[in-house]
Structure 1
Amino acid sequence: MAIFSVHLPDKAAPEVVAERAVFVRDGFAVWALLFGPLWFLRHREWLGLGGWIALAVLITLSERWLGPVTSGGFELILAIATGVAANDVRRLSLRLRGFRESGVVEGESRDAAERRFFDAWLVQPRPASSSSTPPPVLHPGRSVPPGVLGLFPESGARP
C-alpha cells in the first residue's frame, strides 16, 4: 500500500477544488534518483531544479581539488539525496503556490487513493455557509476502539 498526501488549493471555487487536487506519494522517488533534473522539470519544481543544478555545478567545479573518485562519490550522494527529498520538495512547492495539505490516504495505486479520498470527501457533511474554504482535514482509515493509543492500551484501561 502506498501513502499519499492530498493537497487542495486554498483560494479556489468549491466546484474546481476537486479538479485541482494534487496527490503526492510519500517515500522514496526512484525516478528522481535516476533522472533528477528531468523529474524536477516534469513536476515543474523550479525550486528543486535550481538547488539540484547548484549542487551539481559545485561538485563539478570541485573535481579538480577533490579528485574524480571523491567527486563521483558526491554525485552518487546527490542522486540518492534527490530520491529521498524529491517528494518533500514537491510538498513545499505546493505550499508556496497556495495549496494546503488536507488529508492523507493510502491505496494500491494513485487512482485507488484518489477514489478512496473522494469517496470519503463527498460523504462528509458540508457547512451551510457559502464560503470558498476547502473541506476540513480528512484522515480516512481505520477506526480505533476507545482506550487504545497506537498499539498499546492506555494505562489503567481494562478490556
Structure 2
Amino acid sequence: MRTYTLHPAKGALVGEAHGLERAHLVPDGFSWPAFAFGPLWFFFHRLWLAGLGVLALLAVVAFGGRFLGLTPIAGFVITVLVSLLIGLEASSLRRWTYARAGRPVRDAVTAANAEEAEMKAAARWLDGVPTGRTGPAPHIGISVPPSDLAIGMFPFSEGRR
C-alpha cells in the first residue's frame, strides 16, 4: 500500500466536482523515473525550479569530482548516490512546488495503485468530508500544560518541586 497526497486547484472547495478536474495526486515514496532521468522527470512534471536545482546539483557533483581528481568509478558511485537521493526526495520536491503554487496538501489516501487512490480521494472530496485540522490540537487527558512537557525525558518520575 502506498500513500498519495491530493493537491487540488487553487480555490477549490470541498464537495465541488470542478475542484478535482485539475487536481494532482502525488505518490509518496521512492520514484524510479526521477532516479533514472533526474532533471527530465522534473521538467516533465512542470517543476521548473526543482528541475533546475537538480540539474545544478548534478553539474556541481560532476565538476566537483573532476576538480578533485576522482577516478571514474568514484565519480560514478557519487553520481548514483546523488541520483538515489533525487529518487527519494522527488515526491517531497513535487509537494513543495505545488504548495508554493497555492496548491497545498488537502488530503492523503492509502491505496494499492494510482487508480484506487483517485477513486478514494474523489469519493472523500465529493462527500465533503473535512480532511484537515482547522486549529491546534486539543490537549485532552494531559494534566500539565504542554509547555511543561519534556521530550525524551521522564518529567513525571521526579515529582514536582
The reply on whether 1:113 has 2:107 as its aligned counterpart is: no
Deviation at 1:93, TM superposition (A): 0.3
Q: Is the 8 A contact 2:5 2:25 kept in 1?
A: yes
The residue aligned with 2:43 is: 41
The residue aligned with 1:25 is: 27
More strand by share: 1
The reply on whether 1:66 has 2:69 as its aligned counterpart is: yes
Deviations 1:99-130 (A, max 9, x none): 021111011211111111222222236xxxxx
Select between 87-96 and 63-72 the one with higher mean Cα deviation.
63-72
Letter in 2 for 1:117: A
> Which whole-Å CA distance do the structure 2 matches of 1:15 and 1:120 have between them?
11
Deviation at 1:82, TM superposition (A): 0.7
Which ranges of structure 1 fall in alignment gaps of 5 or more residues?
Answer: 126-135, 140-159
> Which whole-Å CA distance do the structure 2 matches of 1:108 and 1:47 have between them?
30
SS at match of 1:101: coil
Per the normalisation by structure 2, the TM-score is 0.72
Per the normalisation by structure 1, the TM-score is 0.73
Deviations 1:74-113 (A, max 9, x none): 2111110110000000000000111021111011211111
Distance 1:121 1:15, change over 3 A: closer
Q: Is the 8 A contact 2:38 2:83 kept in 1?
A: yes
Matched positions, count: 129
Letter in 2 for 1:88: S
The residue aligned with 1:122 is: 126
Find the partner of 1:53 among 18, 37, 55: 55
